[in-house]
Amino acid sequence: MSAFPMGIEHVVFFAVLGVLLLGWMTSILLYMKNLNTLKTKYPKLFESLGRPRIFSTNKASNLKVRQFFRDGAYRKLNDPDLEKQINLQKTFNTLLFVFISVWILLLFFGRMFL
């Protein structure tokens, strides 16, 4: 059972799926931009992080980059542009997570709320 009128469930489902796909692609592009900025402006830091890539199987490098972003170590670089980029990515990923969570709640429990 769905919270939407009959016949429109599929349209809404695929529209939201399209938005999720665009959100995922945007998140990857923001991450790519951040890595590229690190690579060009801070090559030694980029090397110390294990030369991270977008789709990498190097778990150690991925963990270093996540920790670098999460702990706010990038703030020590005193680069307002990089800080702005990383904060944008963090905000976008948080909003995407909230959107996905609300969508899942509505998808499975929509009749209870509407």
Kindly tell me if the per-residue pLDDT of 22 is higher than 90.
yes
Query: Model-level pTM?
Result: 0.80
Of 7 and 104, more confident:
104
Q: What is the predicted pLDDT for the residue at 62?
A: 83
- pLDDT classification of 106: cutoffs 50, 70, 90: confident
**Helices and strands of the chain, counted as H and E runs:** 4, 0
Kindly tell me if the per-residue pLDDT of 114 is higher than 80.
no
- Interior/surface letters 72-111, b for 16+ CB within 10 angstroms, e for the rest: eebeeeebeebeebbeebeeebeebeeeeeebeebeeeee
Kindly tell me if the per-residue pLDDT of 109 is higher than 80.
no
